[in-house]
Amino acid sequence: MAVKRIWHGWTTIENAQSYWSVLSGTVIPGIEAKSIEGYRGIEVLRRDHESEVEFVTIMTFDSIQSVVDFQGENYEQSYVPDVAQAVLKRWDTTASHYQVLEGSLP
């Protein structure tokens, strides 16, 4: 059964493009370079608020064991490299994990 790992980070309006550049140019390629068995991909969502910009990442894994292989035994801990922390205002310190139910849409 697939697992979705969901995390939120917020940045200033001024740093939103910089964060996206870091995420798409460094963080995501770094995750993919690890070649974690059971990692299926990542979706990035953006929501502009009045005074900040929220980003949501949704990673898909085959199982919780695949998440553990990615993040370690403390798998709920956030993965926020220093380069991303430099342009974020705040972020979730933990990620949430959800099972994808059979029969749900892709």
Residue 106: pLDDT band (50, 70, 90) is low
What confidence score (pLDDT) does residue 105 get?
59
User: Which of 49, 48, 47, 44 minimizes the C-alpha distance to 21?
Assistant: 44
pLDDT value of residue 24? 96
If one looks up domain 3-99 in CATH, what number appears?
Answer: 3.30.70.100
pLDDT class of 51 with cuts at 50, 70, 90: very high
Q: So where are the chain's domains?
A: 3-99
Confidence class for position 102, pLDDT limits 50, 70, 90: confident
> What pLDDT was estimated at residue 67?
95
Q: Which long-range contacts (CB under 8 A, 24 or more apart) does 12-16 make?
A: 12/52, 12/53, 12/89, 13/48, 13/51, 13/52, 13/53, 15/53, 15/87, 15/88, 15/89, 16/46, 16/48, 16/53
